[in-house]
Amino acid sequence: MNTLLAQAAQEVEFRTLDAIAILAYLVGMAGVGLYFARKNDSTEEYFLGNRSFPGWVIGLSMLGTTISSVTFLAFPGDAYSGNWSRLVANLTLPLVAIFAIIVIIPFFRRGNLTSAFEYLESRYGTGVRLYGVVTFIISQLFRLARVLFLVCLPVQVLTGAELWIIIVCVGVFIAFYTVAGGIEAVIWTDVMQAIVLLFGGVICIGYVVSHLPGGFSEVFEVATANNKFSFGSFDWSWNKSTFWTMSLLGIFTWVFSYSGDQNVVQRYVAAKSTREARKATAIFSAVAVPTWMLFFFVGTCVYVYYQRFPNPAVDGLATDAVFPHFIFTTLPAGLAGLVIAGVLAAAMSSLDSSLNAIATVTVVDIVRPYLLPGREDRFYLRVARSIATFGAVLMILGAIGIQFIPVENMNQLAWIVESVFNGCLMAVFMIGFFTTRVRNRAAVLALLVAVGVNIYLALNWLGWVPWEVPLSNTWVGPVVNILFAVLAIVFSFFVGADSRDADKSLEGLTVWTMPKGAKAD
């Protein structure tokens, strides 16, 4: 990782206008956090903003939350070095959004839920709920550390400061407005950050096009000639990332996101009505795909720019270092600062959402029902702020630790954590929504087997198992989710519900038992 930093830092000089642009953005974010800090006097306000947000705000907040610094920096790098094949998984989003609008949102809007995992308690019982909560928290903590680390790299290149100092400063800043302002600060800063990151991408495209003699025509001609707009192979393969495997991966990923990701579900229930929650999802899906295409197009533009204006310093750079190098050495002072503000915005909108979501599920799913029940609401508000603060500390320490891990190992570790701890949650929710037969015992048994297979396949990908399976890591998520679904249904024919679960009504918990004509609010 230090090699990448050294490469990207070539010819970079710290410029006052860049610092002013970044500082202005940070001051704006701090102001939003302070404004909303005065309004939080209950957990309902802190977690959900009293369920009062309009759809367009929630939609832009979902966009900001979904697009991290990984998107802002990695997508242009992928397009620069290869093609648009990594975009394919995200192209399935609108299709899944239709499913979410019709089927998923009503489940979370009915019953006045706060956490996605409250549904799992009602449907399967405590054990499955806690499985969902624990896996969510662990995966989010790792994601927090990784995204914070990545966003601090370009800032380190720009300033030349020690990386750990930047990690601490950025982490403390994000924790400040998140802990103080709650979900309202998170959602409104997400809206602002979505606008800033889009502006950063447009700046890069505008600069390249204005400096190419052929403008947009040259970009499309050169990129097409070099197969830069390709979506990858259309062959079917079990061990390669082709168009069809990436499409399937995208469907599984987005179904999980819409059904089991607290960052998304919390926005459903924060909307002021089901109509607004559905509108938010439609807005998000309509804006997200063009946004991802924008950042792939940024990488394509940078590729064409360096074809027209070769730079020997770029030839020896690693792929991930090319776009940061372009920002720092090619964009004028001030504009480069605005683009870096976009990188910060992309990361901060993901980090603040995850911190707030961790605090929410810890209080709602663990502290209030099990550890410290029956306390006053103000007590749980203080606990939520404490948990968000502690999460920020773990985020900072994790990001500092990641800098000592080689790039290849970090990518492997990231995949393993996301694979194992996101596991088969998507299938858990889908089986809950669409079956009445599967109850708690069948679900728990299927979980035990599916998680074990998930761990084995993760180790298989690393080559650490005696009997290797010729399966691409792309397929692990779909395979494990399908395995859970099949096993849960099969086990349901042999094991019944326990005494507590057997007496539970499934009314309102499946598509087959949803009351006809019932209002979602």
For 291, the token pair is: 């946004």
Same domain for 352 and 493, yes or no, is no
pLDDT on residue 14: 61
Q: Of 104, 39, 77, 136, which Cα lies nearest the Cα of 360? A: 136
d(CA 102, CA 277): 11
Q: Domain count of the chain?
A: 2
Tell me the DSSP string of 144-176. Answer: HHHHHHHHHHHHHHHH---HHHHHHHHHHHHHH
CATH number of the domain residue 300 falls in: 1.20.1730.10
Nearest to 331 by CA among 197, 154, 204: 204
If you ran DSSP here, which 8-state letter would residue 102 be given?
Answer: I
Those residues with Cβ within 8 angstroms of residue 408's Cβ, 6 or more apart along the chain or in another chain: none
What's the pLDDT at 240?
Answer: 72
**What is the model's pLDDT at position 1?**
47
Other CB atoms within 10 Å distance of the CB of residue 516: 4
Which range marks the domain in which residue 498 is found? 417-521
Concatenating the DSSP letter of every residue in 235-262 gives S--SSS--HHHHHHHHHHHHHHHHHH-H
Does one domain contain both 398 and 516?
no
Question: Residue 63: which residues within 8 A CB-CB, separation 6 or more?
Answer: 190, 194, 284, 287, 288, 291
Residue 409 lies in a domain: no
Q: Which two tokens stand for residue 351?
A: 């980090």
CB 263 within 8 A of CB 488: no
Let me know whether 458 and 381 are in one domain: no
Is 322 in the same domain as 467? no
In sequence order, the 6+-apart residues with CB closer than 8 A to the CB of 77 are 299, 319, 320, 322, 323
* Same-domain status, 285 and 349: yes
Distance CA 2, CA 428 (A): 41
Computed from CA positions of residues 185, 188, 190, 195, in that sequence, does the dihedral angle turn out positive or negative? negative
Residue 410 lies in a domain: no
The pLDDT, as a whole number, for residue 49 is 86
Q: Which residues contact 363 (CB under 8 A, 6 or more apart)?
A: 43, 47, 380, 383, 384, 387
**Do both 159 and 135 map to the same domain?**
yes
- Report the candidate in 211, 229, 208, 197 with the shortest Cα–Cα distance to residue 301: 208
Structural domain includes residue 461: yes
Report the amino acid identity of residue 377. D
Same domain, residue pair 57 and 176 = yes
- The encoded tokens of residue 384 equal 């939520």
Q: What is the pLDDT of residue 449?
A: 95
Do 344 and 427 reside in the same domain of the chain? no
Handedness of CA 126, 128, 132, 137 (dihedral sign): positive
pLDDT at position 488: 96
| Domain boundary pick from 354, 369, 404 | 404
How buried is 449 (Cβ within 10 angstroms: 0-12 exposed, 13-18 middle, 19+ buried)? middle
pLDDT, block means (10 residues), the chain with 521 residues: 49 71 81 73 85 91 77 81 88 94 88 88 91 91 86 75 88 83 83 83 91 93 93 78 84 89 91 93 92 92 92 76 81 82 78 90 95 93 93 94 68 65 86 92 94 86 78 80 95 78 76 70 58
Domain assignment present for 412: no
300, part of any domain: yes
Among 358, 381, 404, identify where a domain stops: 404
What whole-number distance in Å separates Cα of residue 129 and Cα of residue 57?
29
Say if CB 76 and CB 217 are below 8 A apart: no
Residues 222 and 94 grouped into a single domain: yes
Q: Does 508 share its domain with 453?
A: yes
In a domain, 310, yes or no: yes
Q: Please indicate, yes or no, whether residues 229 and 305 belong to a single structural domain of this protein.
A: yes
Is-contact 260 428, C-beta < 8 A? yes
CA end-to-end span of the chain, whole Å? Answer: 50
Residue 206 belongs to a domain: yes
Residues 439 and 360 in one domain: no
Domain boundary among 382, 404, 426: 404
* 168 domain-assigned: yes
Q: Are the beta carbons of 487 and 444 closer than 8 angstroms?
A: no
For Cα atoms 316, 321, 326, give the angle at the middle one, nearest 5 degrees: 95
Helices and strands (H and E) in the chain: how many:
23, 0
